[in-house]
Amino acid sequence: MKRMTVLFSIIALLLTIASFLLIGFTLGWFAPSVIITTNEVAVGDLRYSLSGEFITSNPLDPTVIVPGDELLTSTIGITNNSPIESQLRIKIEYTAYHNNEGEITGSTETYGAAVGEPLVAVFAFDDNDTPDNYTDDINFIYSDNWWYWDNTGYIYSINSGSQEIITSIFYDGNYTGIDYSSFDVSHPVTVSITIEVKQADNVTWSGLTTFIFTTQTTK
Partner 1 sequence: MLKKQMVLSLTVLITAAVLFIVVTFAWLTVSEIVNIDGAFITLEDVDATVQLQVSTDVDHIEYTLVEGGISLENAVPGDVFYYRLLITNTGLKPILSRVVFNGFIDEPANDLIAYDEEQSLINCIVLNSYNTANASTIENDLISTRIGELSGGLTYANASFILVSDVDIAVGEDEYVYFTFTVAEDAGNEYQNLKLTISSILIQSAAD
Residue 192 CB contacts under 8 Å (≥ 6 apart), including other chains:
92, 93, 94, 210, 211, 212, 213
Round to whole Å and give the CA distance between 136 and 83.
32
Q: Is 84 in the site for partner 1 (CB under 8 A)?
A: yes
* Stretch in the footprint of partner 1 (CB under 8 A) among 11-19, 63-71, 96-104, 168-176: 11-19
Among the residue ranges 70-78, 121-129, 182-190, 199-207, the one whose residues contact partner 1 (CB under 8 A): 199-207
Integer angstrom CA distances of residue 197 from 40, 61, 79, 145, 152:
26, 35, 12, 15, 16
Strand partners of residue 48: 80
| Residue 46 makes contact with partner 1 by CB under 8 A | yes
Which residue, 43 or 185, is less far from partner 1 as judged by CB?
A: 43
Do 134 and 113 contact (CB within 8 A), yes or no?
Answer: yes
Stretch that binds partner 1, among 63-71, 79-87, 136-144, 162-170 (CB under 8 A): 79-87
Report which residue type is found at 186.
S
Strands 48-54 and 72-80: antiparallel
Between 45 and 137, name the residue whose CB sits nearer to partner 1: 45
For residue 29, state whether it binds partner 1 (rule: CB under 8 A): yes
Are 48 and 21 in contact by the 8 Å Cβ rule? The answer is: no
115 binds partner 1 (CB under 8 A): no
CB-wise, 151 or 202, nearer to partner 1?
A: 202
DSSP for 50-95, please give it: EEEEEPP-BTTBPPP--TT---EEEEEEEEE--SS-EEEEEEEEEE
Pick the closer one to partner 1 by CB: 5 or 56.
5
User: Which of 22, 64, 66, 212 lies at the binding interface for partner 1 (CB under 8 A)?
Assistant: 22
Binding test (CB under 8 A) with partner 1, winner from 198, 209, 214, 217: 198
What residues line the site for partner 1 (CB under 8 A)? 1-2, 4-6, 8-9, 11-13, 15-16, 18-19, 22-23, 25-47, 83-85, 197-204, 206
